[in-house]
Amino acid sequence: MEAIALVDGNNFYASCEQSINPSLRGKPLVVLSNNDGCIIARSSEARALRIKMGVPYFKVKEKLKKEKVVVLSSNYSLYGDMSRRLMNLLTKYCEQIEIYSIDEAFISINRPHDNNLYPWAREIRTSIYQKLGINITVGIGSNKLRSKLANRLAKKINTSSGIFDLEKINNEDEYLRKIKIENIWGIGYQTSKWLQSKGIKNAKELKEMNQYEIKKKLGIVGERIQLELKGYKCLPIEKVKKSKKEIRVSRSFGKPITKLEDLKQALSIYTITAAEKMRLQNLQASTVTIFTRTSHYSNSSYQKSAHKILIESTNNTIYLLKIVLELSKDIYHPDYKLAKAGVIMQDLTPHNYSQKSIINYPLKGKSERERDLIKTIDFINKRFKSEKITWGITVKKGSWKMNRNLLSGISTTNISRIPTIII
């Protein structure tokens, strides 16, 4: 019999920092969002101090200092690399894997003759901790939703040791009562309010609710949630990752900007990143959109976007930069302090499908040279794990760049920043 397990990295960002710097283990630690804005991750020690998620850093800065909490800027290159290592290790322990997020994966596994998957789950937890220094939680169920619930119970129940199999218990309803309605996968804020108004407060009550009333109000999604609560498998493991519809790269500035030159530089950096992501996923864009805005807390509000539909889809950085630099003039306004900007590559299609234009058909030799140039740049940057080769507009240091004043400075992808052990 096949089971579905949800494997989740505990306090993932904080755990990555503690893994690469063992001196942080056992200490309260929080990780901040872009521009050192809000708390987006907490170690278990920080959770014990009742430090809340999402709270702005400036509001709790003194409290964190008083409680001797370690505060770090987000290090996404580290977290991304640790995520890849985690997922690669998981593939050795399952039949199929679906990467759900940076720290979560659904995996399918056939149950042994005694149906007991606890030894298998313990082996995974031990292997991941030995090789990555990260604790994981394993929730096991007959489908995706029940494995999600099991994962939550594994974290909630102190005696679970990070593993919970929802199909190996006798008093299932007792445990389903522990899952509040707003914590069920697929139940949003408005839906949970409607269900609560009907007296439905937990997973057990939702499982037993009148199915026709659910379908009438919530449609096929609500019906699917109830069926999976009852043990039916409605959502299969997705072996092939769905192609993205758009790629967005946006950042808040470290300091507000008022110069067109700074806006162009920021948008150029975002465009280069977006183009690299498209090529990495074998995609190309048919529409390019850029936008900027002032701070939400600014007295004078301003936001504007501009877009261009391309005659021919592309992921060519050279061509995309020309478009973005031209469009930037349309969204710039000298009378406002701009706090954020971004680039969106839209109407994405596979790169192997290319509809050529007879109106704007490029010279064959020029097109091939540009493609070879960009391919070489991607190869060099990937090999050396940093922007060894880039476009001149990005080189000048700008005061607008994102604040990362508390970055750990440790990396698993840059050999010059890997910790040194002195014996």
Q: Is 235 within a domain?
A: no
pLDDT digits (tens, 9 = 90+) for 103-162: 999 999 999 999 999 999 999 999 999 999 999 999 999 999 999 999 999 999 888 889
Assigned domain for 423 exists = no
Residue 337 placed within a domain: yes
Q: Is the pLDDT of residue 213 over 80?
A: yes
CA distance 199 to 14: 38
- Report the alpha-carbon distance of residue 32 to residue 60 in Å, rounded: 12
CATH number of the domain residue 72 falls in:
3.30.70.270
Q: State how far the Cα of 352 lies from the Cα of 284, in Å rounded to an integer.
A: 9
- Alpha-carbon gap, residue 165 to 115, rounded angstroms: 10
For position 354, what pLDDT does the model report?
Answer: 62
User: Is residue 100 located within the same domain as residue 77?
Assistant: yes
- Beta-carbon neighbour count of residue 239 at 10 Å? 9
Answer yes or no: do 123 and 35 share one domain. yes
Confidence of residue 359 (pLDDT cuts 50, 70, 90): low
Greater confidence (405 vs 334) lies with 334
User: What distance in Å separates the CA atoms of residue 30 and residue 27, rounded to the nearest whole number?
Assistant: 10
Residue 146 sits in the same domain as residue 253: no
Number of domains present in the structure of the chain: 3
Higher pLDDT pick, 188 / 397: 188
Instruction: Compute CA distances 181 → 63, 220, 307, 390, whole Å.
Output: 33, 18, 41, 49
Please report the pLDDT score of residue 247 as a whole number: 93
Q: 294 and 369: one domain?
A: yes
How much of the chain is in helix, strand and coil states, percent to nearest 5? 45, 20, 35
Whole-prediction pTM: 0.77
The closest alpha carbon to 139, from 151, 149, 130, belongs to: 151
Could you give the CA distance from residue 4 to residue 14 in angstroms, rounded to a whole number? 27
- Can you tell me the distance from the alpha carbon of 373 to that of 367, in angstroms, rounded to the nearest whole number? 10
- 58 belongs to a structural domain: yes
270: left (phi over 0), alpha (psi -120 to 50) or beta: alpha
**Cα–Cα distance for residue pair 94/109, rounded to 1 Å:** 5
**C-beta of residue 125 within 8 angstroms of C-beta of residue 135:** yes
- The answer as to whether 411 is a domain residue is no
| CATH code at position 294 | 3.30.1490.100
Confidence at residue 365, expressed as pLDDT on a 0 to 100 scale: 53
Query: pLDDT tens digits, residue range 308-358?
Result: 999 889 999 999 999 999 999 999 999 999 999 999 999 999 887 666 655
Task: Supply the range of the domain harboring residue 309.
Answer: 246-394
Model pLDDT for residues 380-399, shown as the tens digit of each residue: 877 776 667 778 877 766 66
Q: Assess if residue 416 is contained within a domain.
A: no
What's residue 252's pLDDT?
86
The pLDDT, as a whole number, for residue 355 is 61
What is the pLDDT at residue 391?
80
Q: Is 327 a domain residue?
A: yes
Could you tell me the CATH number of the domain that includes residue 218?
A: 1.10.150.20
Both 214 and 151 in one domain: the answer is no
Please indicate, yes or no, whether residues 129 and 181 belong to a single structural domain of this protein. no
pLDDT score at 36? 85
CA gap 291, 308 in Å, rounded: 12
CA distances from 66 to 33, 62, 63 (A): 21, 6, 5
Residue of 344 and 236 predicted with greater confidence = 344
- Residues 189 and 260 placed together within one structural domain of the fold: no
Same domain, 34 and 144: yes
Structure tokens, 393: 């507009």
CA–CA dist 259, 127 (Å, integer)? 52
Mean pLDDT over each residue of the chain, to the nearest integer: 88
pLDDT for residue 245: 85
267 and 381 both lie in a single domain: yes
* 399-412 average pLDDT score: 70
Residues 17 and 154 in one domain: yes
Instruction: Check whether residue 15 and residue 91 sit in a common domain.
Output: yes
Q: How many CB atoms lie within 10 A of CB 112?
A: 11
Is the model's pLDDT at 238 over the cut of 90?
no
Distance of CA 360 to CAs 44, 270, 313, 354, Å?
58, 26, 12, 14
Q: What are phi and psi of 214, to 5 degrees?
A: -65, -50
Give percent of the chain above pLDDT 70.
Answer: 89
Higher pLDDT, 355 or 62: 62
Please state the length of the chain. Answer: 423
Residue 165 · residue 118 · CB < 8 Å: yes
Instruction: Tell me, yes or no, whether 119 and 254 share the same domain.
Output: no
Closest by alpha carbon to 268, among 324, 340, 333, 330?
324
Asked which of 165, 198, 215 is the last residue of a domain, the reply is 165
Residue 88's pLDDT band (cuts 50, 70, 90) = very high
Look at 165-179, 220-234, 403-417 and tell me which has the smallest mean pLDDT: 403-417
Ranges assigned E (strand) in 127-237: 136-141, 163-165
Residue 363 confidence (pLDDT): 47
The token duo for 334 is: 């000298």
What lies within 8 Å, CB to CB, of 369 at 6+ separation is: none
Q: With cut-offs at 50, 70 and 90, classify the pLDDT of residue 402.
A: low
pLDDT tens track for 272-317: 999 999 998 899 999 999 999 998 878 889 999 999 999 889 999 9
User: Is 124 a member of any domain?
Assistant: yes
